[in-house]
């Protein structure tokens, strides 16, 4: 018996989750982040101070976002584009890539890979773990946003 599956997989980052809504990073105090990420499209991703696989990445990234005076080198890793149109995830990622490419070095795209079998899933997970990520995140390629800007389909982290 063959199990069919179609998921988009990406590495699980250790950064601080950020959503940009109406051109403003939500829940951010640091003016450097507001200045560099302001006016971007409705991106969803993680702000990373240091390396995205570092054990203290989340704490360092959150402290930076919450501090109104600290300056740090950071990267905003984008893994989604929210839109009021009912575009599925795979289309949203295609739309987002040119915007990300034009946004400079502080905004980067998180590569996704289509997973079509349990073997592909195991191979992808092994490759990601070898790069010191803590796991992978699986999402529906055709997932769309529903009411109150929440994705209808689920996201699953495998560590």
CATH for 32: 3.30.470.30
Task: Please state, as a whole number, how many other Cβ atoms lie within 10 Å of the Cβ of residue 112.
Answer: 20
Strand pairing partners for 46? 17, 77
Predicted local confidence at residue 152, as pLDDT: 47
Burial of 134 (0-12, 13-18, 19+ CB in 10 A): middle
In-domain check, residue 97: yes
Answer yes or no: pTM beyond 0.95. no
Phi and psi of 71, rounded to 5°? -115, 135
Tens-of-pLDDT digits for all 159 residues of the chain? Answer: 444 568 899 999 999 999 999 899 999 999 999 999 998 999 999 999 999 899 999 999 999 999 999 899 999 999 999 877 788 888 999 999 999 999 989 999 999 999 999 899 999 999 999 999 989 999 888 876 554 445 545 566 676
Find, among 4, 41, 12, the residue nearest to 112 by Cα.
12
| Domain span including residue 94 | 7-158
In-domain check, residue 109: yes
In-domain check, residue 11: yes
Predicted local confidence at residue 147, as pLDDT: 46
In-domain check, residue 135: yes
In-domain check, residue 95: yes
In-domain check, residue 2: no
CB half-sphere exposure, 30, CA atoms < 13 A: 20
Total number of domains in the chain: 1
In-domain check, residue 106: yes
In-domain check, residue 1: no
């Amino acid at each position: 018996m063959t199990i069919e599956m179609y998921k988009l997989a990406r590495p699980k980052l250790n950064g601080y989750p950020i959503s940009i809504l109406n051109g403003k990073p939500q829940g951010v105090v640091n003016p450097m982040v507001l200045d560099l990420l302001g006016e971007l499209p409705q991106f969803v991703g993680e702000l990373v101070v240091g390396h995205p696989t570092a054990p203290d990445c989340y704490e360092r990234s959150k402290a930076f976002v919450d501090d109104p005076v600290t300056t740090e080198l950071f990267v905003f890793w984008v893994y989604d584009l929210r839109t009021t149109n009912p575009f599925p995830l795979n289309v949203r990622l295609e739309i987002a890539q040119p915007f990300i490419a034009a946004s400079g070095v502080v905004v980067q795209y998180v590569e996704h890979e289509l997973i079509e079998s349990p073997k592909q899933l195991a191979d992808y997970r092994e490759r990601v773990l070898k790069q010191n990520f803590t796991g992978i995140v699986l999402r529906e390629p055709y997932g769309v946003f529903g009411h109150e800007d929440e994705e209808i389909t689920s996201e699953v982290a495998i560590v």
